Chains A and B, each alone.
Chain A
Amino acid sequence: MHNVLIIDDSDINLTLIKALVLKLGDCSPTLFDNPLNALEWCRSNVPDLVIVDYMMPDMDGLKFISAFRALHGRNEIPVLMITANDQKDVRYEALLGGANDFLTKPIDRVEFSARARNMLSLRTGQKFLADRAEHLSALVEERTTEIRDREKKLIFRISRAAEFRDPETGAHIQRMAHYSQIIALGLGLSIPQQKLILEAAPMHDVGKIGIPDYILLKPGKLTHEEFEVMKGHAKIGHELLKDSRSEIMKAGAEVAISHHEKYDGTGYPHGLKGHQIPLFGRIVAVADVFDALTSERPYKRAWDLDAACKFLEDGRGKHFDPMCVEAFLAGWEHVLEVRQRFRDEEMPQI
């Protein structure tokens, strides 16, 4: 059913046009003898066709069309303007102002029907395209969500693959990722950035895949040479992830290469200082170290929370970005929640 809006200050014209609209079939006319009231109605209703007289008190047809077109989502709705035969200038102005076609007085039924049907066909086409666009947009959104979900799962599995070769656990990945998000929140980063670091942080140690087992799994202290090899995991992780078109992978590459840099320039692989270190790297450094300290490993006991916090505080401006430490400690309640939520479980033996 097409909703046809008719605006004319003359009752006889309103009645005539209404009768003609009803004869078109599948149309529901809405009548206004005052253009201002019609405009108000248009704020909350969307007609399929507007038929408006030119000469009316309060607001003429040209001004009505202009105001109507200015309403959100009303710029493509067909408008037929009724003019007298001798008003050529008005018709030019109306065309430029957004009228789609004209009806001349006295109204001729054949002409009226043809023009009104054309306009309604146009509207039907518009609605079809809009529905189709909406349908396609929803489909793309659905597929994109699926792809992003798969990407996230894949990233988690890649991260787990690296962690499986390491004494660390899947819960470590979850905790350090959520700690990173808590710091990002405390630093005032946007919600998309908070989400991005949550998803990218798990990839910080993915480069460990490229470290030989005799070094990675060595129970004792690494020799200088072995540690040099171990340090290579930052660059390997970056190499693995850097060329991806995925925002998460790109952020993961940045985290991988920079999470072992230290604020005072004594970290690796590049010895970057302060804000030379990418922000995500500075954030993950705090999150990763805190979780490593407070987790039990086959080769060490878990530090208590006070000692771990003291380590972070002592490391301000040396190992860690002071702002990141501050943001982490400011979110302490959330830190405890994350610890509670992601507790270590017994890992399957490889």
Chain B
Amino acid sequence: MAGVFVLDKALILDRLGGDEEIYAMMVDMFLQDVDNTCDALAAALASGDATVLRREAHTVKGLLATFSDDAGAAEANTVEQLANQGHLASQAEAVAGLLQRVREVAAVLSTG
């Protein structure tokens, strides 16, 4: 389980060339889309299709990495890699953790 998510806005802005406008736009989009993101990840697990789970975990990994959540991205990467090897049912707990992480990041972003 990753530690608490701490928003490092300076780091993200640095990557975006200091562009606050783009940063704000990305945060808005992440927050608007967080329910869909979580629903898609949960549905992927329920689908029984490891390929779908791999893809959704990959998407979540990208989203978390965008907000410099290295620990969360690493969790998503583990789910993605295991799904790539065909593991699905054994990942229920990891997926639940990941869903929680996405919500946590959203909560921090919405206040930050």
Please list the residues of chain A having a beta carbon within 8 angstroms of any beta carbon in chain B: 9-13, 15-16, 19-20, 23, 55, 57, 84, 86, 105-110, 113
Contact = CB atoms under 8 A, between A and B. Distances in A.
Interface centre among A9, A12, A107, A109 (most CB of B within 10 A): A12
B34 to A, nearest CB: 10
A16 B59 contact: no
B26 A84 contact: no
A12 B63 contact: yes
B62 A105 contact: yes
Interface residues of B, number: 21
B33 interface: yes
Given A12-B30, A110-B17, 8 more contacts: A12-B29, A15-B29, A19-B22, A19-B25, A55-B58, A105-B66, A106-B15, A106-B62
A229 B55 CA distance: 92
Nearest to B62: A105
A234 to B, nearest CB: 81
Contacts of B39: none
Given A16-B22, A20-B22, A55-B58, A11 B15 contact: no
B19 A109 contact: yes
A150 to B, nearest CB: 62
Contact of B15 (A10, A12, A13, A109): A109
A9 B25 CA distance: 17
Contact of A12 (B17, B19, B33, B77): B33
A249 to B, nearest CB: 68
Nearest to A10: B59
A16 B23 CA distance: 9
A113 B33 CA distance: 27
Chain B interface mostly helix, strand, loop or mixed? helix
A84 B22 contact: no
A274 to B, nearest CB: 74
B66 to A, nearest CB: 5
A19 B66 CA distance: 15
Nearest to B68: A106
Contacts of B82: none
B101 interface: no
Nearest to A86: B77
A106 B22 contact: no
B42 interface: no
B56 to A, nearest CB: 10
A109 B59 CA distance: 20
Contacts of B22: 16, 19-20, 109
A12 B66 contact: yes
Contacts of A86: 77
A106 B65 contact: yes
A13 B64 CA distance: 12
A34 B71 CA distance: 29
18 contacts: A9-B59, A12-B29, A12-B30, A12-B33, A16-B66, A19-B19, A19-B25, A84-B58, A84-B61, A84-B65, A105-B65, A106-B15, A106-B62, A106-B65, A106-B68, A108-B15, A109-B17, A109-B22
B65 A23 contact: no
Contact of B16 (A12, A55, A84, A109): A109
A12 B26 contact: yes
A13 B25 CA distance: 11
Contacts of A105: 62, 65-66
Contacts of B55: 55, 57
Contacts of B63: 10, 12
A64 to B, nearest CB: 15
B38 to A, nearest CB: 14
